[in-house]
Structure 1
Amino acid sequence: MHSYQVQHGSKIRTYMMYHGTTGTAALSIKKHGFQRSKDGMLGPGVYVSRSFDKARRYPLILPFNERRAVLKLRVRLGKVKKIDRQGHPLQKTWHQHGYDSAWVPPNCGMVPSGLEEDCVWDPRRIKVLDIIYV
């Protein structure tokens, strides 16, 4: 599920992606937009995936009286850095080297589920299309 758009002669990668969260947080994100996380496996950013299956597992520990929700997103990835192993020299510093997002490919050993994951530096590259309660 991906599409390519061409704008001013350069490729703009736009993907349908997902972000798992709580129902309460999903409503807040839809209203106010994403906030970049302080840290994570790929450093600061917004963590998303092309895998609905991966997104629906989050949050791993669901707070009492909450439902899981998956945000369906349109994401402009921009310039992407592939991070395919723990300890990659740009694992947490890719943005400082001119990349807009980082991508962990499936089955590379970095994510226990074996599913792919992306981290987007600028939340303005992400548009919420829908909230799916799971």
Structure 2
Amino acid sequence: MQYQWAEDDFLPVGVIRLETESPQNDKTYVMYHGTTRKNAQSIIKSGFRQSADGMLGQGVYLSRDLQKASRYPLEEREHNRVVLKVRVNVGEVVVINYQHHPLQKTWHDAGYDTAWVPPNCGMVKSGLEENCVWDPNRIQIIKAIEPQPVAFRL
């Protein structure tokens, strides 16, 4: 079965959609976090927690691109995935645009709240952008988005 990821167009007041090339300091954006159904329930109940590690080190991994988030977790079947739509105040943002960047895993120690990987910079196989937010308290859940089965017509 095939699925599509649909979303309404209504944004909360003061929140910006993926319009600017890079996230701007101290702005609030709609972002997305892909996870399993089980993990989504836990996050909704208890809030986000930092991952122990990853391409950008510790933090909560998000994207302003719904299609990017809908791919995660990569090893999970699509019908068991959920994307959490969230509101994020990014604080101070650093651009990490190549592998082995001097701040790739230490950006928070340098005073940044969010690390941003631009699209098509060679760091992410999909070529889509990625964000890592240090403090989970910067993230507010708006809603869960589930994939919708697509009916085929013969």
Answer whether TM exceeds 0.5 for this pair: yes
Q: Quote the residue 1:50 is aligned against.
A: 64
2:93 to 80, 86, 90: 80
What is the TM-score with the length of structure 2 in the denominator? 0.78
Mapped contact 1:2–1:14 kept (Cα < 8 A):
no
Higher Rg of the two aligned structures? 2
Q: Quote the residue 2:46 is aligned against.
A: 32
**What is the alpha-carbon root mean square deviation over aligned residues?**
1.4
More strand, by proportion: 1
Task: Report SS of the residue matched to 2:51.
Answer: coil
CA shift at 1:12, angstroms?
2.5
Does residue 1:119 correspond to 2:136, yes or no? no
Q: Quote the residue 1:16 is aligned against.
A: 30
The CA deviation string for residues 83-134 of structure 1, in whole angstroms up to 9 with x for no partner, is 0000100000000000001000000000000000000000000001000112
Mapped contact 2:18–2:65 kept (Cα < 8 A):
no
Letter of the aligned partner of 1:13 in structure 2?
A: K
Task: Report SS of the residue matched to 1:96.
Answer: coil
Runs of 4 or more above 4 Å deviation: none
Unaligned segments of structure 2, at least 5 residues: 1-16, 20-24, 148-154
Matches within 5 A, 1:57-68: 57-62=71-76, 67-68=80-81
- How far apart, in 2, do the equivalents of 1:2 and 1:21 lie? 21
The CA deviation string for residues 50-109 of structure 1, in whole angstroms up to 9 with x for no partner, is 00000000000117xx71000000001000000000010000000000000100000000
The CA deviation string for residues 2-39 of structure 1, in whole angstroms up to 9 with x for no partner, is 59xxxxxxx62100000000011111101100010110
Unaligned segments of structure 1, at least 5 residues: 4-10
What is the TM-score with the length of structure 1 in the denominator? 0.89
Mapped contact 1:80–1:103 kept (Cα < 8 A):
yes
Does residue 1:128 correspond to 2:152, yes or no? no
- How far apart, in 1, do the equivalents of 2:67 and 2:76 lie? 16
Q: How many residues align?
A: 125
